[in-house]
Amino acid sequence: MDDAVLAQLIDALPAGTVLTEPDLTESYRDDWTRSPAAGRPAAVVRAGSAADVQTAVRWAAEHRVPVVPRGAGSGLAGGVTAVEGCLVVSTERMTAIEVDPVQRIAVAGAGALNVAVKEAAAVHGLWYPPDPGSFRISSVGGNVATNAGGICCVKYGVTTDYVLGLDVVLPDGRLVTLGGTTVKDVAGLPLLKLFVGSEGTLGVVTRVVLRLLPAQPPAATVVAWFDTPQQAGAAVAAMGARVRPAMLELMDRATVNAVEDFRPLGLDRTAGALLVGQSDAPGAARAEEVEVMAACCREAGAREVLSTDDPAEGDMFLEARRAAGPALDALGAFMAEDVCVPVHLVPDVLDRIAELARRHGVDVPVFAHAGDGNLHPAIRYEPGDPDSVRRAEAAFADIMREAIACGGTITGEHGVGRTKRAALPEQLGPDVLELNRRVRAALDPLGIMNPGALC
β-bridge partners, 247 = 278
> Which residues, numbered 152-171, are part of the site for a second copy (CB under 8 A)?
153, 157-158, 160-161, 170
Nearest to 363 by CA among 334, 336, 384: 334
Binder of a second copy out of 288, 291, 315, 329 (CB under 8 A): 288
How far is Cα 378 from Cα 316, in angstroms, rounded to an integer?
23
Q: Does 429 bind a second copy (CB under 8 A)?
A: yes
Residue 141 CB, nearest distance to a second copy (Å)? Answer: 16
- Of residues 337 and 372, the one with the C-beta less far from a second copy: 372
CB contact at 8 A, 123 and 389:
no
How far is Cα 110 from Cα 142, in angstroms, rounded to an integer?
7
Residue 63 CB, nearest distance to a second copy (Å)? Answer: 23
CB contact at 8 A, 339 and 410:
yes
Which H/E stretch holds residue 46? strand 43-46
- Of residues 6 and 68, the one with the C-beta less far from a second copy: 68
Residue 248 CB, nearest distance to a second copy (Å)? Answer: 12
Q: Does 34 bind a second copy (CB under 8 A)?
A: no
Q: Does 141 bind a second copy (CB under 8 A)?
A: no
How far is Cα 312 from Cα 219, in angstroms, rounded to an integer?
10
Residue 368 CB, nearest distance to a second copy (Å)? Answer: 11
- Of residues 306 and 433, the one with the C-beta less far from a second copy: 433
Report CA Rg, the chain. Answer: 22
Q: Does 277 bind a second copy (CB under 8 A)?
A: no
Q: Does 123 bind a second copy (CB under 8 A)?
A: no
Size of the site for a second copy (CB under 8 A): 91
Q: Does 102 bind a second copy (CB under 8 A)?
A: yes
Q: Does 272 bind a second copy (CB under 8 A)?
A: no
- Of residues 324 and 455, the one with the C-beta less far from a second copy: 455
Q: Which of the stretches 21-29, 118-126, 295-303, 385-393 binds a second copy when contact is defined by CB under 8 A?
A: 118-126
β-bridge partners, 389 = none
- Of residues 42 and 366, the one with the C-beta less far from a second copy: 366
Backbone angles phi, psi at 210, to 5 degrees: -115, 140
Q: Which of the stretches 16-24, 182-190, 220-228, 247-255 binds a second copy when contact is defined by CB under 8 A?
A: 182-190
> Which residues, numbered 188-207, are part of the site for a second copy (CB under 8 A)?
188-191, 193-194, 196-198, 201-202
- Angstrom distances, CA of residue 35 to CA of 43, 133, 401: 19, 20, 22
**Residue type, position 374, single letter:** N
- Of residues 40 and 124, the one with the C-beta less far from a second copy: 124
Q: Does 340 bind a second copy (CB under 8 A)?
A: yes
How far is Cα 266 from Cα 223, in angstroms, rounded to an integer?
13
How far is Cα 81 from Cα 29, in angstroms, rounded to an integer?
6
- Of residues 151 and 254, the one with the C-beta less far from a second copy: 151
Nearest to 373 by CA among 397, 396, 350: 350
Classify residue 48 by its DSSP letter: S
Binder of a second copy out of 335, 415, 448, 453 (CB under 8 A): 415
- Angstrom distances, CA of residue 159 to CA of 210, 244, 320, 342: 9, 19, 23, 20
Q: Which of the stretches 6-14, 53-61, 175-183, 315-323 binds a second copy when contact is defined by CB under 8 A?
A: 175-183
Residue 43 CB, nearest distance to a second copy (Å)? Answer: 27
Binder of a second copy out of 46, 133, 408, 453 (CB under 8 A): 408
User: Count of CB atoms within 10 A of residue 218's CB?
Assistant: 13
Residue 266 CB, nearest distance to a second copy (Å)? Answer: 31
Q: Does 431 bind a second copy (CB under 8 A)?
A: yes
Binder of a second copy out of 186, 264, 312, 386 (CB under 8 A): 186
Q: Which of the stretches 43-51, 309-317, 326-334, 439-447 binds a second copy when contact is defined by CB under 8 A?
A: 439-447
Buried b (16+ CB within 10 A) or exposed e, 86-121: bbbbbbbebeebebeeeebbbbbbbbbbbbbbbebb
> Which residues, numbered 345-374, are part of the site for a second copy (CB under 8 A)?
369, 372-374
CB contact at 8 A, 208 and 163:
yes
